[in-house]
């Protein structure tokens, strides 16, 4: 059987797929189909089921290009891994950028998990983004928070993370509060400045509409009508995580991000993130969502994915060795 797809922009899609034959071959291999670019159309040959998957995958990309969205090559590459799971139909959701306020920089999810993550953040009261560095957990959460603030769906944003390196005892460090917390909060500032112009970011911080504080300063507060992000949550203790989760007030939204494989706590202290995920998954509540990012979702330099994979393999081998004794 065969099926044809007429391309909206043959030159652009031809460059992405035909001129980068490694990408095209990956799609063909994943779905066991044969794809030929001929003039202004694509010819797909193979079994009925696989042809339809390949057709839907390419058509969704073609539809986005037809809307004027020039899809990034690394986004197409990252979606290829989803084909094994039958997720080709999700390509349209990935390439369809969320609606954003005019003052925030447009963002395009790079893979299925990023699209799912943004969807759950929008839908749920609380969302957990769990997985390796480079998957966009913090960046997308900050993006969603700023968008909600500018659209006046919340009154303020609270960004926090545990300052493990300082033992959370910031009062014993020299300098002002800003000077004490700045080194540990720098990644959060970076995410803000990536989303909006620096002048607007500084204005919102000065007005108290964006607060960046260490987790230790959250105790005793109840946060209503706020978008709260806890970053590096794997480095919270169980009591700290419980304290944080119970800060959630009315009309608030919470996002917790972290990588359970990168815990910096002392060996004998259990991670609050690991504990919370284990406990709250069992509740199966509609208002709490979970996204588990994989090494395939890492969008940094390709070598980062290989490094993450190497560490994961070693950790797994070490755990298996311990279990044999």
Q: What secondary structure does DSSP assign to 266-291, as a single string?
A: -TTS-BHHHHHHHHHHTT--TTEEEE
- Please state the rounded mean pLDDT for residues 61-66: 74
Q: Is 235 within a domain?
A: yes
pTM for the full predicted model: 0.74
Residue 18, token pair as written in the block: 């035909």
Q: Is 260 within a domain?
A: yes
Please return the burial class of 220, using the count of CB atoms within 10 Å of its CB with bins 0-12, 13-18 and 19+. Answer: exposed
- If asked whether residues 66 and 120 sit together in one domain, one would say no
pLDDT given at position 1: 79
- Please state the rounded mean pLDDT for residues 149-160: 95
- Given a cut of 80, whether residue 10 has pLDDT beyond it is no
- Please state the rounded mean pLDDT for residues 29-55: 84
Distance CA(269)–CA(236), nearest Å, equals 9
pLDDT given at position 204: 95
Identify the band that residue 17 occupies on the pLDDT scale cut at 50, 70 and 90.
low
Share of the chain above pLDDT 90, in %: 36
Distance CA(68)–CA(91), nearest Å, equals 16
> Which of 140, 147, 138, 143 minimizes the C-alpha distance to 111?
140
- Which residues have C-beta within 8 Å of that of residue 176, sequence separation ≥ 6? none
- Lowest mean per-residue pLDDT among 72-76, 81-85, 151-155, 162-166: 81-85
- If asked whether residues 135 and 171 sit together in one domain, one would say yes
Work out how many domains the chain is built from and give that number.
Answer: 2
- Given a cut of 60, whether residue 321 has pLDDT beyond it is yes
- If asked whether residues 124 and 273 sit together in one domain, one would say yes
- Given a cut of 90, whether residue 126 has pLDDT beyond it is yes
- If asked whether residues 193 and 306 sit together in one domain, one would say yes
- Lowest mean per-residue pLDDT among 89-103, 134-148, 150-164, 185-199: 89-103
Identify the band that residue 59 occupies on the pLDDT scale cut at 50, 70 and 90.
confident
Distance CA(90)–CA(79), nearest Å, equals 9
Q: Is 143 within a domain?
A: yes
Distance CA(161)–CA(240), nearest Å, equals 11
pLDDT given at position 200: 94
Distance CA(161)–CA(86), nearest Å, equals 36
- Please state the rounded mean pLDDT for residues 37-42: 80
CATH for 253: 3.40.50.300
DSSP E strand stretches across the chain: 2-6, 34-38, 41-45, 126-130, 156-161, 210-214, 226-230, 253-258, 288-292
Q: Is 100 within a domain?
A: no
DSSP 8-class letter at 177: H
Order of all β-strands in the sheet with 288-292: 210-214, 156-161, 226-230, 253-258, 126-130, 288-292
Distance CA(229)–CA(160), nearest Å, equals 6
Q: Between residues 49 and 94, which one has the greater pLDDT?
A: 49
- If asked whether residues 181 and 230 sit together in one domain, one would say yes
- If asked whether residues 167 and 61 sit together in one domain, one would say no
- If asked whether residues 250 and 144 sit together in one domain, one would say yes
Residue 264, token pair as written in the block: 């910096």
> Which of 211, 165, 216 minimizes the C-alpha distance to 188?
211
pLDDT given at position 179: 58
- If asked whether residues 236 and 305 sit together in one domain, one would say yes
Identify the band that residue 276 occupies on the pLDDT scale cut at 50, 70 and 90.
very high
Label the pairing between strands 34-38 and 41-45.
Answer: antiparallel
Q: What is the dihedral of CA 245, 247, 252, 254, to 10 degrees?
A: -30
238 is in which domain, residue-wise?
Answer: 112-323
pLDDT given at position 168: 47
Identify the band that residue 324 occupies on the pLDDT scale cut at 50, 70 and 90.
low
- If asked whether residues 72 and 163 sit together in one domain, one would say no
- If asked whether residues 195 and 304 sit together in one domain, one would say yes
Listed residues 28, 62, 95: the one ending a domain: 95
pLDDT given at position 236: 94
- Given a cut of 50, whether residue 166 has pLDDT beyond it is no
| Secondary element (H or E) of residue 126 | strand 126-130
Name the 3-class secondary structure at 185.
Answer: helix
- If asked whether residues 257 and 153 sit together in one domain, one would say yes
- If asked whether residues 75 and 142 sit together in one domain, one would say no
User: What's the chain's Rg over C-alpha atoms?
Assistant: 22
- Given a cut of 80, whether residue 90 has pLDDT beyond it is no
Distance CA(252)–CA(191), nearest Å, equals 21
């Amino acid at each position: 059987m065969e099926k044809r797809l007429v391309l909206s922009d043959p030159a652009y899609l031809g460059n992405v797929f035909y001129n980068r034959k490694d990408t095209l071959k990956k799609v063909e291999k994943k779905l066991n189909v044969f794809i030929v670019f001929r003039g202004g159309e694509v010819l797909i040959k193979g079994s009925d089921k696989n042809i339809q998957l390949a057709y839907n995958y390419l058509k969704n990309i073609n539809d986005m290009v037809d809307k004027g969205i020039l899809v990034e090559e690394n986004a197409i590459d990252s979606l290829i891994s989803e084909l094994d799971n039958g997720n080709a139909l999700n390509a349209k959701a990935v390439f369809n950028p969320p609606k954003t306020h005019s003052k925030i920089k447009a963002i395009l999810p790079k893979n299925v998990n990023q699209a799912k993550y943004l969807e759950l953040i929008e839908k749920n009261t609380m969302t957990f983004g769990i997985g390796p560095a480079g998957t966009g957990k913090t960046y997308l959460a900050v993006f969603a928070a700023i968008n909600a603030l500018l659209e006046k769906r919340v009154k303020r944003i609270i960004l926090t993370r545990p300052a493990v390196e300082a033992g959370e005892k910031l009062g014993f460090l020299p300098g002002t509060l800003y000077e004490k917390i700045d080194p540990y909060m720098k990644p959060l500032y970076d995410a803000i400045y990536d989303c909006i112009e620096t002048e607007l970011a500084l204005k919102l911080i000065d007005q108290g509409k964006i607060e960046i504080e260490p987790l230790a300063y959250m105790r005793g507060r109840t946060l209503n009508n706020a978008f709260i992000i806890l970053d590096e949550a794997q480095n919270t203790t169980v009591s700290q995580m419980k304290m944080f989760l119970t800060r959630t007030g009315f009309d608030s939204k919470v996002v917790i991000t972290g990588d359970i494989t990168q815990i910096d706590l002392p060996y004998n202290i259990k991670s609050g993130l690991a504990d919370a995920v284990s406990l709250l998954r069992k509740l199966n509540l509609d208002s709490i969502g979970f996204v588990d990012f994989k090494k395939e979702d890492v969008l940094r330099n390709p070598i980062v994915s290989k490094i993450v994979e190497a560490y994961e393999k070693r950790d797994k081998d070490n755990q298996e060795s311990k279990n044999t004794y």
